[in-house]
Amino acid sequence: MNKLLTLCLASLWLSSSAVDAAETRPNILLIYVDDLAYNDIGGYSYPGDIADGEAPMPFPEVSAYAGPNQALGIVDGKWVSITPCLDRFAKQGIKLTCYHSPSSVCSPSRLGLLTGRTPARFMLGGIISKHNSAGLPSREITIPEMLKSVGYETAVFGKWHLGHGDQHAPTNHGFDHYQPATGDRATELLRLVQDASEFMSRDRDDPFFVYFACHQPHYPNVAHPDFVGSVDKLLGKRTYLKGDGTTDTIEISSAYHDVVHELDFRVEQLLRTLDQAGITDDTLVIFTSDNGPWSNHPKARDGIPGISGTGYPFRGSKFQDFEGSTRVPAIIRYPGVLAAGTVSNEPVTGLDWWKTFAGLAGASVPSDRSMDGYDVWPFLTGLPGATSPRPFVLHDRGKSITAISNRGDKQFTDRLVDVRTDFSEQRDVSDTRPELTAELKQQLDSINVTINEDRPGLENASDQRILVGHPGRYVEVPKGETSSFSIRLATAPKRPVVINFPQRSGSVGLTLNRQSVTFSTTNWHTPQDVTVTSAGQTTATQYATFEAVGTDQIPIHEIYIRETAN
């Protein structure tokens, strides 16, 4: 593994907590599953780590709603789980019971995760469909862009959901490799696991970042043939509450749980890959979900059971701002570094991974934009007794923060609820706690004001792009020598365009021979060369990231430079 780099940073960026990071930078495997709810894993089933005593009745959602402990069953007098791998995995690391996804919807959640910025900054409250020309802005600095700037090899397997234009593609946002899902739900999870395993098993000098973002267990519920009916065989038929508000029950088979059962097995295959490659102790693994259950799916609202899981005992579905909408499982393992078998109810969110990974990797945090996450690594390494640096969980529905929660006290714009005792979030206790209500309302209003002051929005697709030519993942320059890359436009401009090259991060010992190039309406397709020079003043490998920024509204292009040995 490479040692941490001490970077000389460009003026736009602040130094990070790199000086406090571990001596070696870990590989990072981030498993981001789809619509897996809080109560869908045996190790998270209520009452578990939340409370003792009699389990409460679930809130009567207008849908088919599962009862408690749906991932568990008693067989021959013993508890049996449909997620044995994830249950073991939780005992090997840290299980967070107050972890929240950035949003209760797929696209906003992924946007918040990868940028470290809450989705309301982009006015995104729903999915980015194929009919939407907008997507992830090129000026955002994603987790893979940040990690690539300090030498990580980056790959994404599965679901992207952040735009369909060329400029929105993962490979234009820091990912070196992209393997999309096929749409064949019966076999795609197995194929993605095989592809990700092959990638992680390669011999390499650099650490890797793998973003494994599968569709499962998002509806439609189609398991691999080996897992169809597997949960019935394991647990027998389960009992579910009807979705009509009554307490009557019915017994069904659930294709949803077959998919969860397969998902658990596939996660075990990924973890086994790390073991076989001998890199388990060098790899930080995070398992979590993009949002809570789709229990408000139209078919579920029609009373068809088994469409989704449940966040029981918490109320909430996708597209909502209740606890069950965003409180999801989160398990973190880094052998020998994080205390195994630890459980914490401290708040952490998906917005926090950006800064946390930056600190671990020795990267830096931008100062030219508002970041909504916290570096939670000191908290994670300090458990079991440490407290999270995050003061509030932001409940984001796209246009604004609709609520904030502070370790159980949750302030909406119109009421205060105590989530510790009121899982349905119905009882307004603001009259009994006026001082806390006033304080939290002020915080909520202040956060929304801050968001309104820094709201870039999404970026519309454009035919005009900046094309940079060079072989490989980096522009590589021998220490103390020079190299070059070429640059041109994708289509003819209507007027002359100047492309500037500001340095975003990295060593000041890596420089370009020109600060800008100009393209006219006639020479736009002729590549212009830019020379890179290495001062060669240090023994450590140097990295730098430059931006190619056009004077017109052209999506920017990042240029990653790495110094190599002579």
pLDDT of 48 reads: 59
Backbone angles phi, psi at 432, to 5 degrees: -85, -10
Q: Taking Cα atoms as reference points, which of 103, 85, 147 lies closest to residue 360?
A: 147
278: left (phi over 0), alpha (psi -120 to 50) or beta: left
Q: Does residue 35 contact residue 289 with C-beta atoms inside 8 Å?
A: yes
Q: Does residue 189 contact residue 224 with C-beta atoms inside 8 Å?
A: yes
pLDDT of 238 reads: 73
Q: Rounded to 5 degrees, what angle do the CA atoms 386, 390, 391 make?
A: 110
Query: How does pLDDT run across 298-308, given as a tens digit for each residue?
Result: 887 777 777 88
- Over residues 540-546, the mean pLDDT reads 94
pLDDT of 18 reads: 34
Query: How does pLDDT run across 300-352, given as a tens digit for each residue?
Result: 777 777 788 888 888 889 999 999 999 999 999 999 999 999 999 999 999 99
CB under 8 Å to 259, separation ≥6 — which residues? 216, 217, 221, 222, 223, 227
Whether residue 2 is predicted with pLDDT greater than 90 in this model: the reply is no
Do the strands 401-406 and 409-412 form a parallel or antiparallel pair, or are they unpaired? antiparallel
Q: What percent of the chain has pLDDT over 90?
A: 76
Domains recognised in the chain with CATH numbers: 13-393 (3.40.720.10), 462-564 (2.60.40.10)
pLDDT of 24 reads: 79
Q: How far apart are CA 475 and CA 492, in angstroms?
A: 26
pLDDT band at 454 (very low <50, low <70, confident <90, very high): very high
Helix (H) or strand (E) holding 72: strand 72-75
How does the average pLDDT of the chain come out, rounded? 90
pLDDT of 12 reads: 35
- Over residues 379-403, the mean pLDDT reads 96
Q: Which of 21-35, 129-143, 245-259, 376-390 has the lowest mean pLDDT?
A: 245-259
